[in-house]
Structure 1
Amino acid sequence: MKIVVIGGSGHIGSFLVPRLVRAGHRVVSMTRSGGTGYSDAPEWERVQHVAVDRQRQDADGAFGRSVAELEPDVVVDLVCFTLDSATALVESLRDKTAHLLHCGSIWRYGPSRKLPIVEGSDSAGAPFDEYGIQKAAIARMLQEETASGGLVTTSVHPGHIVGPGWQPIGPLGNFDPGVWAVLSAGGSVPVPGSGAEMMHHVHADDVAQMFELAIRHREAAAGEDFNAVAPTALSVRGYIEIASGWFGQSATLESITWDEYRQLTTPEYADASWGHLHRSQVFSIEKAKGLLGYAPAYEPEQAVLESIRWLIDHDRLEVAQPLRA
């Protein structure tokens, strides 16, 4: 099939595009830069690159036409963040494309009520930030589109994406690289809250796996939404214990209030921590396993360790001790 991947050079696309080429598909990668992402896979030589400024074309009402003119059998949209943008793409592809797959987010859910969080259940509250609200609205629109007999759609909702080439969400629920220096030195980590809050990571290649499976099993994936996460999730306390052990250390956790934490860090890091830890989410992948055969290859700590090793090896992260893991 001819598959257009919108945002092909990003975290997920870097793994998905080579997967699709290896599966025998003709792949077009639409990006702003025309780049090949984080991986240096030989499959990129067989990819057609189309440079496009989606934000500008969305404003002009032209982006959907740009995609449709490529005459794809399948479109994978990895960089759509508003209902208006998603709706415009659907309207352009209806009756022209066999399958549209959208990359959502687990933040379409709010704070957890029951664990694990299951698609279509009351396991979590409503989203509370604009990003999550928009992702939830897009997922509903896509389901309604397919249920009404329109375009066949599927939405995939990744957890906190991890992979070589970028900072992972750390034990405090943010991108602060300083925590890794503390962990590698066996220091004390000030934690806002109890330390029992949960985060659910996923390796970018496992998300790519789910998209590939949804394309392969279109009938099973039609009109569905799927959580895309690792088999297990990490608590703040467990994350700190596991990660400090990679350096042969045993870091300690110091429980502090949120007001105290905000005085110790930047507003950006504090807000990110609140966003992750307040939600305290763990997700079920039983639906994807049953309908698609999803089998994630990475536990969350394995994915994070791969990322941290890459950052250290490329002089992108300062630590007090070398990795022993």
Structure 2
Amino acid sequence: MRVVVIGGSGHIGSFLVPRLVRLGHQVVNISRGQRASYVEDPAWQEVEHVTADRIAEDADGTFPSRVARLEPDAVVDLIGFTVESEKALVDALRGRTGHLLYCGSTWRHGPSQRVPIREDDPTPALGDYGAAKAATAAMLKAETASGGLDATSLHPGHIVGPGWHPIGPLGNADPSVWWKLSAGEPLPIPGIGTDFMHHVHADDVAQGFELALTNREAAAGEDFNLVAPSALNVRGYATVAASWFGRSADLRSVTWDEFRRTTSQEFHDSSWNHLVRDHYFSIDKARTMLGYNPGHEPEAAILEAVRWLIENDRLHVATPLTV
């Protein structure tokens, strides 16, 4: 097939595009052209590249027609953030393209009411970002149900991989957390540390998109969670992470008010937004309908990212990794 990937140089696309090339697809990557992929792969030599600023072209209404003119058999949209943008793309592709695969987010679900969270659980989104992802997924499901374009939405958790900072044990990207864990220093944690975060390796997200593309009949009109086989809570994550440096985690429970006084507004808000959701998702639907089989437990995916950051002088720790 001729597959257009929108935003293919990012976290997911860095793994997905080479997968698609190796399957024999003709791949077109639309990106702003401002960075290379996160992972080097000879498959990129066979990819056609198109430079475009989606935000600007969405604003003037030219982006959907640009994609349609590429005459794709399938489109993978990894950077759709509003219902209006995705609806315009659907209108341009309807009757011309066979399948649209959309990257949503597990944040379309708000704070958990029961776990594991399934795709159809009624947990209203918290915040504009999650609400937009939820509304877009609902629109795409209705589009296919009405006999329009075949569409599938896939919803990753916290994406982890080499080249960028993972969401850390406190639900933020504060590098000082890693220093404290590697030094065996006390680490204040907000609450009692039982809040879950559900990570997923970028290549496992890519696997999910590949499977949905290959199994269009099963995937059309559906939505799928894409996460690791298990999830880590704050205490478990910090304990495992400290052990990578030969340390025991010295965790000190504090109130959210106390935590706010010891960290920046940015990191406090990130921690709150991640931990208040307390997310742990089921992948039963993706396993059953697509054959999804993630190859990374969350701790293995996170360790890979942390190792890359340390080796590339992007994260400073007190003691070397022992694993």
| Common topology (TM > 0.5) | yes
Among 292, 296, 318, the residue aligned to 2:290? 292
Give the structure 1 partner of residue 146 of structure 2.
148
Q: Secondary structure at the match of 2:72?
A: coil
Give the structure 2 partner of residue 121 of structure 1.
121
Q: Secondary structure at the match of 2:301?
A: helix
1:78 partnered with 2:103: no
Identity of aligned residues (%): 61
Give the counterpart letter for 1:319 in structure 2. V
Query: Superposed, which structure 2 residues align to 1:24-39 within 5 Å?
Result: 24-33=24-33, 35-39=35-39
Query: Superposed, which structure 2 residues align to 1:151-190 within 5 Å?
Result: 151-190=149-188
Query: Superposed, which structure 2 residues align to 1:1-325 within 5 Å?
Result: 1-33=1-33, 35-122=35-122, 125-325=123-323
Q: Secondary structure at the match of 2:101?
A: strand
The C-alpha deviation readout for 1:179-204, integer Å capped at 9, x for no partner, is: 00000011111011110000000000
If the length of structure 1 is used for normalisation, what is the TM-score? 0.99
The C-alpha deviation readout for 1:186-231, integer Å capped at 9, x for no partner, is: 1111011110000000000000000000000000000000000000
Q: Which runs of 5+ in 2 are unaligned?
A: none
Q: Which runs of 5+ in 1 are unaligned?
A: none
Structure 1 CA distance for aligned equivalents of residues 6 and 126 of structure 2: 27
Structure 2 CA distance for aligned equivalents of residues 48 and 296 of structure 1: 28
The C-alpha deviation readout for 1:148-194, integer Å capped at 9, x for no partner, is: 00000000000000000000000000111110000001111101111
Q: Secondary structure at the match of 1:315?
A: coil
Give the drift of 1:252.
Answer: 1.3
If the length of structure 2 is used for normalisation, what is the TM-score? 0.99
Structure 2 CA distance for aligned equivalents of residues 278 and 45 of structure 1: 43
Give the counterpart letter for 1:113 in structure 2. Q
8 A contact 1:289–1:295 mirrored in 2: yes
Q: Secondary structure at the match of 2:276?
A: helix
Structure 2 CA distance for aligned equivalents of residues 74 and 128 of structure 1: 31
Structure 1 CA distance for aligned equivalents of residues 84 and 175 of structure 2: 35
Give the drift of 1:128.
Answer: 1.6
Structure 2 CA distance for aligned equivalents of residues 268 and 283 of structure 1: 26
Structure 1 CA distance for aligned equivalents of residues 74 and 309 of structure 2: 34
CA RMSD between the two structures? 0.7
Bigger Cα displacement from structure 2, 158-167 vs 25-34: 25-34
Give the drift of 1:35.
Answer: 4.3
Structure 1 CA distance for aligned equivalents of residues 173 and 132 of structure 2: 23
Give the counterpart letter for 2:36 in structure 1. T
Runs of 4+ with >2 A deviation: none
Name the count of aligned residue pairs: 323
Give the counterpart letter for 1:249 in structure 2. R
